[in-house]
Amino acid sequence: MPSNSPRSELLGLQEPRVRTLPLSRVDSLIDDVLDICDLGAIQCDPWQEGALEAIASVDAFGQWAATEFGVLVSRQQGKGNILLPYELAHLYLWPRDDGAPKLIGHTAHEAATAREAFRRARRAILASPILRAELVGGGKQTAQGVTGISTGNGNWSIELKNGNRLVFFTRTGSAGVGISFDVLIVDEAQHSPLSILEALLPASDASPNLQVLFTGTVPKEDQDGEYFEGIRDRGRAGGQERTGWIEHTPVGSDDPDTAAKIDLGSPQTWREANPGLGIRLALKTVQDAWDRMGQTNPEAFARQRCSIWPSRRAAEVEKLSDLDLDAWKHQADADAAVRGDGVVLSLALGRGGGYATICKAVRFDSDSIAVEHHKTKEGTIWVAGDLKLLKKELGNALVVLDPKNAAAVISSLDQAGIKYLAMNLDEIAAAHTLFIEYVNAGMVPHRDQPEVTKSLELATTRNIGRAGVTWEQSDPTKPVSMAQGVTWALWGVLKSEASPKKKTLPPPAPRVVTTGRSAPRGDNLRTIQF
């Protein structure tokens, strides 16, 4: 074959090195995805089609097998041909079981990325007469634009006649917070700070058939990719009931020892890390990048082009508190939802009042107390209203808080008539000690909520006078509101159980007063006290 033939280039490997499917998978709706690709004239490479087949896995009940799915692949490989068919299939082919309109959210770290994803979806829809006809107003051209497609003021959305909507937004500020998504796409997942995802991810908790798709590259140290790293670790470990993971990475790149020995200048390494090589990415482009960066910045080349992301060594995981994280993880129990009588609510605010967290706890059995993260959301205006509703739903549940931490919302709680138990320094320190003691003894069952585990993992401690210690951020980008919330809620259960119950005096026996008996004393029947 002549050397100038495009087929003479090395082709990237189409099979991922790691492909972990959720244990609940029994089938895949890949045929639906391929149908939408035909309608939208979307050409998928084999590796893209394989990723879609895995993401579209369903369980025995026809629900999404993976409630979270992550894809790690280097830049310029064409991951848009995964996201676009996935989004269009949700928009056009996969309705909600209850017939309600479906809301699909596509969020990116950069506005330019979100806008480009919107433009690709718009082009595919407008180019297909069948897809366009389903837009609100039939996708007709008007003076304001195309019906069913909104582009004003950074509001990029596509709406169908049946009410289904696909919206695109950035993760900065409060965009997307307060909206209930059925499906959420987190693009550029290497930028996944907990402070933002803790506020955004609960927006999909109410979905009857939840799935969150994460796609991204290897994060830099300063990119706050903790959440994406957590999905990576669960995916690499395998054996997860509801987690899926795919990564296109060189052999040995997940082990810190073997990763350091990978030949970054080897075309075989490039093949393993770049499935689009020779198809969407020219070999000479990779060669040029290596020639530029091989001597001056090989670490960046390893990250950006070779997707080398070794797992952390067990010895490198810094122990920030006395909490036994393994014991905590072993107590994950799908049946440990917090409900019923005796539920205690806790409130913890992020530093500066930028966001707030509500957690819950309840006596699980004679030895154990179950805890649960209820909600984290940006801002604090919503707190009083949500707590009032929760207290009503849970039978006037006790609310516990640190008055110094919650100073920004105390007045709004008072105005809403919400009674709460303010913890003093001794109680805050005691709550911390009790929580660690109960967790380490295996007495805190909880639903598997990765955001809570991460918060506990990243939390360190600080002294609070002579009282003892409490949770503290290990650095300003690692919030601890969930660690605080579950700790204080558990303490609230113990506190409520230790508090003596107020005795209620029985009502006085009724007196029967007759006219004859009352007249001598001058009793007035209109004012007699019963």
Contacts of residue 146, defined as CB under 8 A and 6 or more positions apart, other chains included, come to 122, 126, 135, 139, 140
**pLDDT exceeds cutoff 80 at 303:** yes
SS3 state at 392: helix
Task: Measure the CA angle with vertex 440, ends 434 and 445; round to 5°.
Answer: 85
Q: What is the pLDDT of residue 501?
A: 58
SS3 state at 373: strand
Dihedral sign from CA coordinates of 315, 317, 318, 322: negative
Contacts of residue 345, defined as CB under 8 A and 6 or more positions apart, other chains included, come to 358, 359, 360, 374, 387, 390, 391, 394, 397, 398, 399, 400, 489, 492
- The residue among 317, 373, 311, 305 whose CA lies nearest residue 345 is 373
Considering just the CA atoms, what is the radius of gyration of the chain in Å? Answer: 28
Residue 358 has which token pair? 């509500």
Residue 515 banded pLDDT, cuts 50, 70, 90: very low
Q: How far apart are CA 235 and CA 247, in angstroms?
A: 9
Helices (H), 127-225: 129-133, 194-200
Q: What is the pLDDT of residue 295?
A: 86
Helix then strand then coil, % of the chain, to nearest 5:
35, 20, 45
Q: What is the pLDDT of residue 30?
A: 97
| Mean pLDDT along residues 474-488 | 84
**pLDDT exceeds cutoff 90 at 339:** no
User: Three-state secondary structure along 324-359?
Assistant: CHHHHHHCECCCCCCCCCCCEEEEEECHHHCEEEEE
Q: What is the pLDDT of residues 131-172, one digit of tens each?
A: 999 999 998 988 878 889 998 766 799 999 999 999 998 886
CB 23 within 8 A of CB 241: yes
**pLDDT exceeds cutoff 50 at 521:** no
**pLDDT exceeds cutoff 70 at 508:** no
Q: What is the pLDDT of residues 214-253, one digit of tens each?
A: 999 999 876 678 789 889 999 999 988 999 999 999 999 9
Residue range(s) in the chain whose domain bears CATH number 3.40.50.300:
9-247
Q: What is the DSSP string of 461-483?
A: EEE-TTS-EEEEESSTTS--HHH
Q: What is the pLDDT of residues 438-448, one digit of tens each?
A: 999 999 999 99
Task: Measure the CA angle with vertex 332, ends 398 and 357; round to 5°.
Answer: 40
In the chain, how long is the greatest CA-to-CA distance?
Answer: 127
Q: What is the pLDDT of residue 523?
A: 44
- Given the structure tokens 């709460």, which residue do they identify? 420
Compute, in degrees rounded to 10, the torsion defined by CA atoms 482, 483, 487, 492.
Answer: -20
Residue 317 banded pLDDT, cuts 50, 70, 90: low
Task: Out of 198-207, 329-338, 380-389, 393-402, pick the least confident.
Answer: 198-207
Distance of CA 447 to the CA centre of its chain: 14
Q: How far apart are CA 343 and CA 371, in angstroms?
A: 10
**pLDDT exceeds cutoff 80 at 347:** yes
**pLDDT exceeds cutoff 70 at 510:** no
Query: Treating both helix axes as pointing N-terminal to C-terminal, what angle do 80-92 and 46-55 enclose, rounded to 10 degrees?
Result: 40
Query: Treating both helix axes as pointing N-terminal to C-terminal, what angle do 80-92 and 30-39 enclose, rounded to 10 degrees?
Result: 100
CB 405 within 8 A of CB 349: yes
Residue range(s) in the chain whose domain bears CATH number 3.30.420.240:
325-498
CB 218 within 8 A of CB 293: no
Look up residue 421 and give its amino acid: L
Q: What is the pLDDT of residue 78?
A: 92
Q: How far apart are CA 456 and CA 325, in angstroms?
A: 8
- The residue among 448, 451, 473 whose CA lies nearest residue 461 is 473
How many beta carbons lie within 10 A of that of residue 402, not counting itself? 22
Give, as one character, the DSSP assignment of residue 182: S
How many alpha carbons fall within 13 Å on the CB side of residue 113? Answer: 21
**pLDDT exceeds cutoff 50 at 322:** yes
SS3 state at 163: coil
Contacts of residue 40, defined as CB under 8 A and 6 or more positions apart, other chains included, come to 84, 85, 88, 124, 125, 127, 128, 131
Instruction: Please provide the CATH number assigned to the domain covering 9-247.
Output: 3.40.50.300
**pLDDT exceeds cutoff 60 at 3:** no
Residue 159 has which token pair? 């709406």
| Mean pLDDT along residues 78-91 | 96
Q: What is the pLDDT of residue 171?
A: 80
**pLDDT exceeds cutoff 50 at 522:** no
Q: What is the pLDDT of residue 507?
A: 60
Q: What is the pLDDT of residue 527?
A: 36
Residue 290 banded pLDDT, cuts 50, 70, 90: very high
Q: How far apart are CA 58 and CA 67, in angstroms?
A: 10
Q: What is the pLDDT of residues 358-385, one digit of tens each?
A: 999 999 999 999 999 999 887 889 999 9
| Mean pLDDT along residues 45-71 | 96
**pLDDT exceeds cutoff 80 at 474:** no
Q: How far apart are CA 119 and CA 125, in angstroms?
A: 10
What is the pLDDT of the chain when averaged over all its residues? 87
Q: Under CATH, what is the fold of the domain 325-498?
A: Nucleotidyltransferase; domain 5 (3.30.420)
Contacts of residue 328, defined as CB under 8 A and 6 or more positions apart, other chains included, come to 439, 444, 446, 453, 456
Q: What is the pLDDT of residues 251-267, one digit of tens each?
A: 999 999 999 999 999 99
